[in-house]
Amino acid sequence: MAESTPKLSLLETRILGTLVEKQRTVPDTYPLSVNALMAGCNQKTSRNPVIETSEAEIVHALDSLKDLGLVREVSGSRVSRFEHLFEKALGVPTQASALLTVLMLRGPQTAGELRLNCERLHRFADISSVEAFLEELAAKEDGALVVELPRLPGSRENRWMHLLSGEPVIEAGAAGRSPSTGMQDIEELQARVSSLEAEVAELRALLLERSRE
Q: Which pLDDT tens digit goes with each residue over 87-144?
A: 999 999 999 999 999 999 999 999 999 999 999 999 999 999 999 999 999 999 999 9
Dist. CA 31–CA 41, nearest whole Å: 15
User: Where are the CATH 1.10.10.10 domain residues in the chain?
Assistant: 10-88, 91-169
Domain 91-169 CATH assignment equals 3.30.1950.10: no
pLDDT score, position 204: 75
**Count of beta carbons in the 10 Å neighbourhood of residue 162:** 23
pLDDT at 196: 66
- CA 126 to chain centroid, in Å, comes to 20
Highest mean pLDDT among 7-21, 167-181, 195-209: 7-21
The torsion of the CA quartet 18, 21, 27, 29, rounded to 10 degrees, works out to -20
Q: Between vectors from CA 12 to CA 148 and to CA 51, what angle results, nearest 5°?
A: 90
Mean pLDDT (the chain) is 86
Q: What is the mean pLDDT of residues 150-164?
A: 90
Per-residue pLDDT tens digits for 36-75: 999 999 999 999 999 999 999 999 999 999 999 999 999 8
Question: What is the Cα 202 distance to its own chain's centre?
Answer: 16
Relative to beta strand 81-84, strand 109-110 is: unpaired
Cα radius of gyration (the chain): 17
pLDDT at 176: 41
pLDDT at 4: 44
Q: What is the pLDDT of residue 195?
A: 65
- Using alpha carbons only, give the angle 118, 123, 126 rounded to the nearest 5 degrees: 100
Q: What is the pLDDT of residue 201?
A: 72
Phi, psi of 147 (to 5 degrees): -145, 145
Question: How confident is residue 2, by pLDDT bands cut at 50, 70 and 90?
Answer: very low
CATH of domain 10-88: 1.10.10.10
- pLDDT confidence of residue 78: 86
Band (pLDDT 50/70/90 cuts) for residue 156 is confident
